[in-house]
Structure 1
Amino acid sequence: MAKSSNQKLKLLYLLKMLEEKTDEENTMTINDMIAELERYGITAERKSIYDDLEALRHYGLDIAIRKSKTTDYFVAGRLFELPELKLLVDAVQCSKFVTHKKSNELIKKIESLASNKQAQSLHRQVYVSNRVKTINESIYYNVDRLHAAIAENRQVSFKYFDYDVKKEKVYRKNGDKYTVSPYGLSWDDENYYLVTFSTKYNSFTHYRVDRMTEIDLKDESRDPLLDREQFDIADYSKKVFNMFGGEEVTVKIQFDNSLVNAVVDRFGKDIIIGRLDDDSFYIWIKVAVSSTFFAWVSQFGSKVKILSPEMVVEQYKANMKEILAQY
Structure 2
Amino acid sequence: MARYSSHRLKLLVLKEMFEKLTDEQNGVELKQIIEYLAKKGIPAERKSIYSDIALLRDFGMDIITEKGTKTTYKLVSREFQLPELKLLVDSVSSSKFITRKKSLDLISKLEKLTSKYEARELRRQVYVEKRVKTMNESIYYNVDSIHTAIAKNKKLNFKYFEYDRERKKVFRRKGETYSVSPLALIYSDENYYLTAFCDRRSMIVNYRVDRMSGVSLSNEDRISNDETSNFDPAIHQKSQFSMFAGDVQNVKIEFDNSLSTLVIDRFGSDVFIYPEGDEHFIISIDIEVSPAFFGWIFMLGDKAKILEPKSLSDEFLNAISAVAKSYVETK
Q: TM-score, normalised by structure 1?
A: 0.95
Distance 1:323 1:228 in 2: 37
Distance 1:226 1:5 in 2: 61
**Could you list the runs of 5+ residues in structure 1 that have no partner in the other structure?**
none
After superposition, the C-alpha distances for 1:137-181 in whole angstroms (9 at most, x for unaligned) are 111111111111111111010011111222211111111100000
Q: Secondary structure at the match of 1:33?
A: helix
Q: Is the 8 A contact 2:100 2:129 kept in 1?
A: no
Deviates more, 1:202-211 or 1:179-188: 202-211
Distance 1:87 1:273 in 2: 34
Q: Is the 8 A contact 1:6 1:41 kept in 2?
A: no
Change (3 A) 1:4 1:308: closer
* Matching residue of 1:38: 38
* Matching residue of 2:9: 9
* Matching residue of 1:310: 310
Distance 1:67 1:283 in 2: 64
Distance 1:190 1:296 in 2: 17
* Matching residue of 1:166: 166
AA matched with 2:101: K
How many Å apart are 1:66 and its aligned residue?
2.0
Query: Structure 1 vs Structure 2: percent identity of aligned residues?
Result: 47
Q: TM-score, normalised by structure 2?
A: 0.94
* Matching residue of 2:270: 270
* Matching residue of 1:289: 289
Deviates more, 1:140-149 or 1:58-67: 58-67
Aligned: 1:222 with 2:222: yes
Change (3 A) 1:242 1:227: closer
Q: Secondary structure at the match of 2:143?
A: helix
* Matching residue of 1:22: 22
How many Å apart are 1:262 and its aligned residue?
0.8
Q: Is the 8 A contact 2:94 2:128 kept in 1?
A: no
Distance 1:153 1:228 in 2: 12
* Matching residue of 1:52: 52
How many Å apart are 1:240 and its aligned residue?
1.3
Q: Is the 8 A contact 1:6 1:40 kept in 2?
A: no
* Matching residue of 1:251: 251
Q: Is the 8 A contact 2:179 2:198 kept in 1?
A: no
* Matching residue of 1:178: 178
Aligned: 1:212 with 2:202: no
How many Å apart are 1:300 and its aligned residue?
1.1
Distance 1:286 1:8 in 2: 63
Distance 1:53 1:240 in 2: 56
Q: Is the 8 A contact 2:22 2:75 kept in 1?
A: yes
Distance 2:200 2:166 in 1: 36
User: What's the RMSD between the two structures over aligned residues?
Assistant: 2.0
